Amino acid sequence: MSIAALKARLPAYAKDVGLNLSSIAEEDGLTAQQKYGLMVACGHATRNGEVAAALEAEAAPHLAPEALDAARAAAAIMAMNNIYYRFVHLATNAEYRAMPARLRMSVVGKPGVEKVDFELWSLAVSAVNGCGLCIDSHEKVLREAGIGAATIQTAVRFAAVIQSAAVALETLGFAAAAAE
């Protein structure tokens, strides 16, 4: 499946979602690795197999195997980190902020791709997962690396569009279940 096939599966009420999918597919303000890595990382972050498979199929011809694995790793590691650090941030008991996380996350330090690309993917996944502490942390690293606000905003736009596609497809399943 590809983005075109994914768009074809969207219900009529999600026309804007399809138009936005076309927009990210045509995005030219990112490197190919950044763009297609965002598709893969955000696709996996939605936890929707159809979306993840379609975006992997779209991205695979444009990514080296190491970049494909790094994008998957960004989704996986941020799934863990976003839960943990969102808890630390939201808990009123400050004692948790002083405790070591004791979570293995070596892929963050050595992702197998340019650090900036991995940080961009991690930021977008953190947006999908709603972890403000992680969003701030990754945005700070990106800004210190010279990445501008427009690129960061583009990554979050990818996250928003891809998440909306997953929601639109899930509503099809709800409608089918209700009709039975």
> Which are the catalytic amino acids?
131, 134
DSSP states of 31-98 = -HHHHHHHHHHHHHHTT-HHHHHHHHHHHGGGS-HHHHHHHHHHHHHHHHHHHHHHHHHH-S-THHHH
As a whole number of angstroms, the distance between CA 54 and CA 83 comes to 26
- The residue assigned the tokens 């940080």 is 119
Taking alpha carbons only, the member of 175, 138, 118, 167 closest to residue 6 is 167
**Exposed e or buried b per residue across 59-90, where buried means at least 16 C-beta atoms within 10 angstroms of its C-beta:** beeebeeebbbbbbbbbebbeebbebbbebee
108's tokens: 């963050």
Q: With the C-alpha atoms ordered 156, 15, 48, 60, is the resulting torsion angle positive or negative?
A: negative
